[in-house]
Amino acid sequence: MSQNPENTCFVFVIDGAFEVQNRLVYSKDGILLPEAGEVEFDALSNDGILLRFEL
């Protein structure tokens, strides 16, 4: 969850597959979510690694 809903969130998948905000994101993919109040994600593979930055 973002501390400030007006901030932008960047999500990068290091390994595996994830569903981020109803979008499929695979290994070495990134997604920029402007003004993301809450970011929902689900792991679709075992041992997946996700990196999330708040800008």
**SS3 (DSSP) at 1:** coil
Of 54, 47, 53, which Cα lies nearest the Cα of 12? 53
Domain ranges for the chain, please list them: 9-54
Give residue 5's pLDDT: 65
Q: Which residues in the chain show pLDDT less than 50? A: 1-2
Give residue 46's pLDDT: 94
Give residue 35's pLDDT: 83
pLDDT more than 70, % of the chain: 91
Model-level pTM?
Answer: 0.82
